[in-house]
Amino acid sequence: MDALSITYITLETIIGVLSTVGNAMVLIAINRSHALQTITNCFIASLALADMLVGIIVAPLAALSFVGLPHNFLGCVFINSVVILFTQVSIFSLLAVAVERFLAIVIPFFYQKHMTSHRAILLLVVIWIAGIIVGLVPMFGWNLGPPEDMVCAFTRVIDMSYMVYFNFLGFVLVPLVIMFCIYLYIYAIVRQQMIKIAALEIAVDGRKKKRKFMKEIKAAKSLAIVLGLFTICWLPIHLANTVNHLCGSGCGVPYPFIVAAILISHANSVFNPFLYAYGNTRFMSEFKKMLCLFKESDSFTTEDRSVSNIVNTTRSDENPQQERF
C-alpha cells in the first residue's frame, strides 16, 4: 500500500469518527431539548442523520473502494452508490429547509396554518425515498458493467454520464440553484420588511413583530451558511467528474486533485454540527452539557427556574409557527 492510500484511509477514518460523533450530538440535542424540537430542526435532524451515516457507512466504504475492494461487482456498485445516496438525501433536506424558511418568512400566515409536524415528517419520508431511488440508479443497471480484473473503483463501475447528466445536472445543480434563488429572494424581502418594521418600533406590537421576524432571519442566515459550505465542499468533485467525462483522457483532472476533492466532500459532514452551534445558542448549550462543560440547571435557584419557565412560555407563545414534533 502506497503513501497516498495510507494517507487517504487515515483521513477518511478521522472524518468518519468526527462526523459520527458531531452529528450524533445534534440528534441527541434535538431529542433532549423541547425548545429545539421545531419544524426547522425536523429537517436539520434529517440532514444530521444523513451526515452521521456518511461517517458510519460512507467513509469506511470509500476507503474500501479506494484499495480495490470488494471484488464482487454488485457489491462494488452498491458501496459506491451509497455515497451518492446520502449526498442526495442531504441535498433534498437542504432544499426542504430552504422552502420551509421561505414559507416562514415570506408567507407566515400560510406557514402557520399548513406547516405542521406531521406534514414535515411525511415530507422527510418522501425525501429519503427519493434520495434512495436517485442514489441507487446504478444498481438498477446504469453502470459500466464488471471490470475485467474485478478491481473495485468508483470510476470503473459508475457511469460518468449518469454522474454528470443525471445526478449532477439534474439532482445537484438544479436544487442548488433553486436554493440560492430562495435565499436571495428572502434577502430582498428582509430588506423591505426591516424598513416597515422600523416604523413600528415605537409600539409594543412593532417590537414583538421585530423580535419574531429577526429570529426567523437569524435561522435563515445560519442555514444559508450551511448551504454555502455544502456547495463549496461538493462542487469540486462534481466539476472534476464533469471535466473528466467531457474531455476524456486528453485533459483529465489530476488524480491527487480528485482524491483531495473526495476528502473535502466527505469532510462537509464534519462541519455542519459546528455551524448549527454557531447559529443557535440552544444547540450550543446542549453541546456544552453533553461535553460536561456546562452543568444542567442544578445550580439555579427556585426563583431562577420560575423566571426561566416564564421566559420560555412567553417565547413559545410568541412563536406559534415553530410547532414542536
CA dist 249 and 243 (Å) reads 10
Q: Would you say residue 325 lies in a domain?
A: no
Query: Which amino acid is residue 313, in one-letter code?
Result: T
Inter-residue contact 149 to 70 (CB < 8 Å):
no
Residue 196 in this model has a pLDDT that exceeds 80: no
Is 144 within the bounds of a domain? yes
Of 112-116, 240-244, 304-308, the range with the lowest mean pLDDT is 304-308
The predicted structure's pLDDT at residue 301 = 44
Q: What is the DSSP string of 112-163?
A: HHH--HHHHHHHHHHHHHHHHHHHTGGGGT-B----TT----HHHHB-HHII
Residue 308 is predicted with a pLDDT of 45
- Looking at the chain, the whole-number percentage of residues with pLDDT higher than 70 is 82
Structurally, the chain folds into a number of domains equal to: 1
Distance between CA atoms of residues 252 and 258, nearest Å:
10
Q: What pLDDT is attached to residue 213? A: 66
Position 199 scores a pLDDT of 61
Residue 323 within a domain: no
Give the number of C-alpha atoms closer than 13 A to the C-alpha of residue 25, restricted to the C-beta side.
25
pLDDT at position 293, please?
Answer: 60
Question: Average pLDDT of 149-177?
Answer: 92
Mean pLDDT over the full length of the chain: 83
Cell of 291: 461535553
| Confidence label for 315 from pLDDT (cuts 50, 70 and 90) | very low
pLDDT score at 313:
46
Is pLDDT at 161 greater than 50 in this prediction? yes
* pLDDT in the model for residue 324: 53
Burial degree of 198 (CB within 10 A; 0-12, 13-18, 19+) = exposed
What global pTM score does this model have?
0.81
What is the span of the domain harbouring residue 175?
3-318
Confidence at residue 1, expressed as pLDDT on a 0 to 100 scale: 65
Look up cell 462542487; give the residue: 235
Residue 32 covered by a domain? yes
Is a pLDDT exceeding 60 seen at residue 298? Answer: no
Q: What is the pLDDT of residue 70?
A: 87
Which of 261, 242, 265 minimizes the C-alpha distance to 252?
242
The grid coordinates listed for 221 are 442566515
For the record, the C-alpha cell of 267 comes out as 469532510
pLDDT score recorded for residue 198: 63
**82-113 tens-digit pLDDT:** 989 998 998 999 899 889 989 988 888 899 88
CA distance 99 to 208: 24
Residue 324 maps to a domain: no
Residue 220 and residue 183 in contact, taking contact as beta carbons nearer than 8 Å: yes
Q: How confident is the model at residue 212 (pLDDT cuts 50, 70, 90)?
A: low
**CATH code where residue 193 lies:** 1.20.1070.10
**240-252: average pLDDT:** 83
pLDDT at 249: 67
| Average pLDDT over every residue of 28-43 | 91
Q: How confident is the model at residue 290 (pLDDT cuts 50, 70, 90)?
A: confident
* Whole-number pLDDT of residue 260: 93
